[in-house]
Amino acid sequence: MTDEIDIEHFRVRLIEERRAIEATAGAREDAAATVQLDQSSVGRLSRMDALQQQAMAKSVNERAAARLRLIAAALRRCDDGSYGYCKICDEPINPQRLELTPAITRCINCAE
């Protein structure tokens, strides 16, 4: 199956996705920074809103970190020759499925 899959195509897609995630790291970290609770400059609702936005930003950072781990694992599979095979049943993953999500680790049957 890997001879049917253009591994280099998917490697490039994975690297591009990693770069895009890393490019926004600064903005995500700024959004998740500690909220200043100076009551003289902001009202109670503004502070609550800021805390909610901070929590959402932290969640986005966690998802980005998880996505980077998945991309790194997929790139390792590209290197070791196991890319494109299901981690559960070891059957080939449909290239169309890989096209949608290059870091995917399971075939459609095992994902269900």
DSSP 8-state symbol, 85: B
Distance of alpha carbon 87 from alpha carbon 76, whole angstroms = 13
pLDDT tens-digit profile, the chain (112 residues): 444 789 999 999 999 999 999 988 776 666 555 555 555 555 666 777 777 887 888 888 899 999 999 999 999 999 999 999 999 999 999 999 999 999 999 999 999 8
Backbone angles phi, psi at 51, to 5 degrees: -65, -40
Backbone angles phi, psi at 85, to 5 degrees: -115, 140
E-strand ranges in 31-78 read none
SS3 92: strand
| Domain boundaries, given as residue ranges, for the chain | 7-82
Q: Is 112 exposed, middle or buried (0-12, 13-18, 19+ CB in 10 A)?
A: exposed
